[in-house]
Structure 1
């Protein structure tokens, strides 16, 4: 027997690789079970992106069809027949006429310009000694007195500063300034009216509150002037919002 020692064979790498792979596979399976919570990670019934897109498109198509149907109903109601088209045209013509009467369109012609201003200091920079602060400024009641007198004389349209006066306009006194149609103005206050200048001047002469203002003007130095000439009025621009108005008939007129 050959008793010579033999060199040991090198160990194969599989003896170490196989256990490592098994451990890694076990860790992967455990992690997957933890994330999934015991359920399948990808269920067969889970919605896919293409299904979501298809469902959204169907909703859009349905709403578009509803919109088109409602638009067709509106067209048929207001202009889909000769009778409804004629009614709509009549309403439009009526609205154009009322727009002028309501002060929504520009206006020009002979008229009267009335200007009111606060009292000014004298050459020495002083006001009258017996005057109170309220005696030296134009008040809301003074503006209203002039406006009412002009309307009573048959004014076709009135403008104050650069704002057209309409049914919803209400000049409000804010300190020594005036709030009109959402804008604030300082004196002098210029009121322009179109109509019979002589009749409007007569109405201003007979108005008690205007007469009182003229007395204050003479006593404390306030300003009041009238000028008859051709004038131009701007149309009312902001939206007209009626809080308490409602249609009279089935078509609103």
Structure 2
């Protein structure tokens, strides 16, 4: 019979692993990091103050102005390069004609002819329903949205437009009409309503395309109900300058 004093002493038990305790510690650590980053960013200022928002708005507007200046500079340089290239590039007349046609289709050359200008504008801030039985407007019902501008541009292309300008910029195949709130962002520049879209082409065909667009018919319902702005002006002759910004194309490639 063995003596109890000779029996091995059991090893002390390790504390059981508790994932929830580790997760709790990680959350507190992350919260502390966020508070520190917020304090370091604010530097004692109110991040929600009107002054902070104004500074952000000023920065955005300044960037837009710089983009406009860079676009103008790029256009001048491109004109000089094109002029030098056409002096003696060894191309045939057929090749020159083909290049001119491609430039025209790409929107980098001016286009002239009869035109329509469509103007879209927000409704008055205090607008009320103009039609009996129509519900009172919500804030989103009173402003121009991205789909409204896109509908106009798409309808004008459908109507055979030979060139389109939104505000003061010519559209090309890679142009994208994007809105944040009621602010238009087009090719790196910012615009506020009213928005003007001008198309060179057959005025009658352009008007028909606008009238037949389901998206624009829906917009017209808001024009009648809440007073959103819609004006169409015809021009006997108008010249749209060529696009002067960068035309670099980037393609996505599959990952191997």
- Scaled by the length of structure 1, what TM-score is found? 0.58
Match of 1:137 among 112, 119, 143: 143
Deviations 1:51-108 (A, max 9, x none): xxxxxxxxxxxxxxxxxxxxxxxxxxxxxxxxx9447x76555333311121101122
Deviations 1:122-165 (A, max 9, x none): xxxx2227211110101110111111111111110000100001
CA contact (8 A) 1:119 1:137 kept: yes
Q: In structure 2, what is the Cα distance between the partners aligned to 1:174 and 1:234?
A: 27
* Aligned: 1:110 with 2:118: no
Q: Which runs of 5+ in 1 are unaligned?
A: 1-83, 246-253
- Scaled by the length of structure 2, what TM-score is found? 0.58
1:241 corresponding residue in structure 2: 248
With over 3 angstroms needed to count, the CA separation of the structure-2 counterparts of 1:128 and 1:235, relative to structure 1, is same
With over 3 angstroms needed to count, the CA separation of the structure-2 counterparts of 1:93 and 1:239, relative to structure 1, is farther
Cα RMSD, aligned residues only: 2.2
2:128 corresponding residue in structure 1: 128
Q: In structure 2, what is the Cα distance between the partners aligned to 1:213 and 1:198?
A: 20
Q: How many residues align?
A: 158
Larger Rg belongs to:
1
Alignment of 1:1-253 (within 5 A): 85-86=90-91, 91=95, 93-121=97-125, 126-128=126-128, 130-229=136-235, 230-244=237-251
Q: Secondary structure at the match of 1:239?
A: coil
Q: Which runs of 5+ in 2 are unaligned?
A: 1-88, 130-135
